[in-house]
Amino acid sequence: MNQRIKTHCQKWRKILSQNNSAVRTKTAKTSNTAKTKTTKSSAKQSAKKSYSPAKSGKKSGATQSTQTKKYKKNYYSASKKKKQTQEPVVKPSVRIMFLGGLNEIGKNMTLFECMGDMVLLDCGMAFPDGEMLGVDLVIPDFTYVEQNKDKLKGIIITHAHEDHIGGLPYLLGKVNVPIYGASLTNGIIGNKLREHSLPKSPELIDVKAGERIRLGCMEIEFIHVNHSIPDATAVALHTPAGTIIHTGDFKIDFTPTWGGPTDLNTFARLGDEGVLCLLADSTNASRPGFTTTEQTVSSSFDKIFTNAMNKRIIIATFASNVGRVQSIINCAHKYGRKVAFSGRSMVNYMSVASELGYLDIPEGILIDIDMLGKYLPEQVVLVTTGSQGEPMSALSRMAYSDHRKVSVGEGDCIIISANPIPGNERTVGNVVDELLKRGCEVIYESMYEVHVSGHARQDELKIIHCLTKPKYFIPVHGEQKHLRKSRDLAISMGMAKENVFIGDVGSCVELHDDYMKELAPVQAGKVFVDGLGVGDVGSIVLRDRKHLGQDGLIIIVASLDVYDGHVISGPDIVSRGFVYVKESESLFDEIRHIALDVLEDCADRNIHEWGVIKNRIKDGVSKHISDKTRRYPMILPILMEV
């Protein structure tokens, strides 16, 4: 396998060497021609001077002396200039701040700073895990960006996946700078921003692979790469400190369904010019070999369509995977089926992709989801969201018989064309189980190759290392296990261990020709979005939600005399999610007596601070319930003065 990688690298270097050789030959010829012309011109000028009329000796001597003085003056002036130009130029350093995307999946966000100018790369979101009860999504902490917004020159987006653009609507409410991305990327971003109704719309500037833009002291070069969405790019940041390459999410696919293969020639050129640091996608760094081509999925779809001639086909995939949806449309057209979309994000993505020309849709093949009932099952394909088992997604609602327009059962062939994101395995498994209970045939990745990754494996990463030859390396985009595998891979290829940096969210590293050092961390972390609330749900709220969900709630309500603090009415007990009240009346009587004793004791002792009284009730009731049931419900005393 290493020999294959070596062959790939040699091939690209040979092509580049030939191109450079041709350029050097042409330059040399031009230079020689220029020299010849200069020599001829100088000879003519010398001839003219030699035929000038002679001056008298005195004047001639004076002239000569003056010329000598001028010559000496010019010589010393030239010497000074020469010495000045030979003084060593001190190169600046560049800083990289990681605000997300390290030791986690999602929430990718990286900030680059050089000579007081900042450029932000990506601004994503992450899915909440099982501990984040009620949280809709997780975004990065933007505090450091807000504090330095005057330095920020622009935002670069590598591609339009949610883990790279999902945080933008929340950031752009606080900073307003131009956003640079490819056509499809900006189309999807624009659609997302319109949904959030921002008070001031940012400038979305389209760029193409191969183009360069200048942001402050940095020049950004966009490089075409393969991924599971069109228009994905890597970026090379040409800074006064040196060139930094960030691969973005990428793989090397020589038979992609959209666009050409990853632009290895540009990576090779940058490597020959000199790369200070490489930041590489580490998602699949633990997997050997090459990532399977997307064409494999197209072949699998063809087989499934052949075997399901008399069934309705429902395919769940990521809404952003435009190339895969194109493969589905191609298969549907081949087998005479109509195509409908289900799920808001699926409809939005396909609408943008179609408008911008990224989908080739045969005339008459698309139908509205309301029209499904007018066709036989074997005449339609439904493309839907829900490949990750999201509770409110279209596929989940079908599985739990909660979809208003689609009912599933026997005669349906359902394909889940995606792998579960880490943490989503259980929710996906639950959806599959529910579909099977309803008699559906369910096909997923382990049965057919209905999904391939959009991320590079080990051999692809080796090719990028070999071509770019970076001085420093920082693995990005992955959990700790992925980052460490990526680091080990770089070291196995000859990278010095001290030249590899594994960071965390908030890490700040300074790069220079002579050193790479970690600086004090910057403020970074997780911000929870719950409904319209952003950042108003923290760890304490999540802890309370978890407590309520696991052990339930007991509310103790009592009315106290405003003058002496003695109980006028109550305590009354209200329970939710703890035990069934009718079967535990004796336990609730005991709780009532404990609360009453505490309240009367506090009144007798002239204790009127409600915080103290409530804590005593909590302690007494919690201990009794724990002794009796080994449970720990949340205790909430409510006191009123009358």
Q: Which residues are catalytic?
A: 281, 455
Identify the pLDDT of residue 39. Answer: 41
Identify the pLDDT of residue 358. Answer: 92
Cα three-residue angle 210-214-215, rounded to 5 degrees: 130
More confident position, 118 or 32: 118
Residue 637 has pLDDT above 90, yes or no: no
Identify the pLDDT of residue 594. Answer: 87
pLDDT in tens, 189-221: 998 898 887 877 889 999 999 999 999 999 999
Instruction: Write down the mean pLDDT value for the chain.
Output: 83
Specify whether domain 295-443 bears CATH 3.40.50.10710.
yes
Per-residue DSSP letter, 336:
T
d(CA 556, CA 574): 7
> What band does 286 get if pLDDT is binned at 50, 70 and 90?
very high
Torsion of CA 407, 387, 322, 373, to 10 degrees: 0
Phi-psi category of residue 559: left, alpha or beta, with phi > 0 → left and psi -120 to 50 → alpha: beta
pLDDT in tens, 378-394: 999 999 999 988 888 99
Most confident of 26-40, 121-135, 443-457, 488-502: 488-502
pLDDT in tens, 321-355: 999 999 999 999 999 999 999 998 999 999 999 99
Most confident of 68-77, 108-117, 133-142, 518-527: 108-117
Identify the pLDDT of residue 61. Answer: 37
Identify the pLDDT of residue 624. Answer: 84
Note whether 163 and 106 are within 8 A (CB). Answer: yes
| CATH fold group of domain 552-641 | Ubiquitin-like (UB roll) (3.10.20)
For the chain, first and last CA: distance in Å? 82
84-109: average pLDDT: 85
Question: Residue 418: exposed, middle, or buried by beta-carbon count in 10 A (0-12, 13-18, 19+)?
Answer: buried
Identify the pLDDT of residue 546. Answer: 61
d(CA 450, CA 442): 12
Identify the pLDDT of residue 49. Answer: 35
545-563: average pLDDT: 76
d(CA 369, CA 342): 7
d(CA 250, CA 282): 10
Question: Residue 364: exposed, middle, or buried by beta-carbon count in 10 A (0-12, 13-18, 19+)?
Answer: exposed
More confident position, 273 or 86: 273
Identify the pLDDT of residue 606. Answer: 83
pLDDT in tens, 460-486: 999 999 999 999 999 999 999 999 999
pLDDT in tens, 27-65: 444 444 444 444 444 433 433 333 333 333 333 333 333
pLDDT above 70 as % of the chain: 81
> What does the radius of gyration of the chain's CA atoms come to, in whole angstroms?
34
Question: Residue 538: exposed, middle, or buried by beta-carbon count in 10 A (0-12, 13-18, 19+)?
Answer: exposed
Residue 581 has pLDDT above 70, yes or no: no
> What band does 542 get if pLDDT is binned at 50, 70 and 90?
low
Note whether 384 and 408 are within 8 A (CB). Answer: no
DSSP line for 238-271: EETTEEEEE--S-B--SS-SSS-S--HHHHHHHH
Residue 78 has pLDDT above 90, yes or no: no
More confident position, 553 or 134: 553
Residue 264 has pLDDT above 80, yes or no: yes
Strands 204-206 and 179-181: parallel
Where exactly does CATH 3.10.20.580 map onto the chain?
552-641
* Range from 78-82, 234-238, 448-452 carrying the lowest mean pLDDT: 78-82
Where exactly does CATH 3.60.15.10 map onto the chain?
94-290+453-530
DSSP line for 383-415: EES-TT--TTSHHHHHHTT--SS----TTEEEE
> What band does 547 get if pLDDT is binned at 50, 70 and 90?
low
113-133: average pLDDT: 84
Identify the pLDDT of residue 412. Answer: 93
260-289: average pLDDT: 96
Residue 586 has pLDDT above 70, yes or no: yes
Q: Which CATH number is 94-290+453-530's, of 3.40.50.1820, 3.60.15.10, 3.30.390.50, 1.10.760.10?
A: 3.60.15.10
